[in-house]
Homo-oligomer: A and B are copies of this chain.
């Protein structure tokens, strides 16, 4: 029910925006392979396009597989700022953690924060509103025994701290995923609840992310 009211409010907000502004709000989704897949059919960006009025929102995917925070920083001029976005939703962190074990090329936590701060600074300087996401999952087991859980929790906290410190809206996907799994993953499965392969989103995952993003975008444009 709250969802319905929220949706109505959202549409109202959007309607008011529509009257005052001719141009739709341009949102760039800036991230890794999860975001790259998000523009495909059924992906979370594809879903958001149907959930948000197209005359109010222009949604642009800017995800590239394997990207870590410093990859985003390196390509932000070309792939984000060149598009003159009104809003940039940054969702990164899985590879910064995961690549430690799989390639030996993850990102140190202090460097992660430094690059994230530099990224945010540059986005703000370009008058883009920034929204941050926490990395959702590498494994869905609910007993905190996924190999990267410790690191994912640490890096998520670093992002939460950064959002708080700079008063930036946060989409806490890690929290949302954990809560969803606590309810819907009684067998402590490592995948198949919100992901296909412990990391990338299945249908339920795309729906959950789209809902979280919709909610955040609604509050951001209020």
A residues with a Cβ closer than 8 A to B are 70-71, 73-74, 99-108, 111, 114-115, 118, 139, 143-154, 157
Contact B108 A100 (CB under 8 A): no
- Chain B hits for A107, CB < 8 A: 105
A-B contact pairs, 15 of them (CB 8 A): A70-B111, A71-B111, A74-B115, A74-B118, A100-B101, A101-B103, A105-B108, A105-B111, A144-B149, A144-B153, A145-B154, A145-B157, A146-B154, A148-B150, A150-B152
A143 touches B147 (CB 8 A): no
**What B residues does A104 contact at CB under 8 A?**
99-101, 104-106
Count of chain copies: 4
3 A-B pairs with least C-beta separation: A100-B104, A149-B150, A145-B153
B102–A105 contact, CB under 8 A? no
Decide if B145 touches A147 in the complex (CB within 8 Å): no
Nearest to A139 among chain B residues (CB) is B150
Chain B residues with CB under 8 Å of A118's CB are 74
How long is the Cα–Cα vector from A46 to B153 in the complex, in angstroms?
37
A134 to B38, CA, bound (A): 40
Q: Are A102's CB and B100's CB within 8 A?
A: no
> Which B residues are in CB contact (< 8 Å) with A73?
74
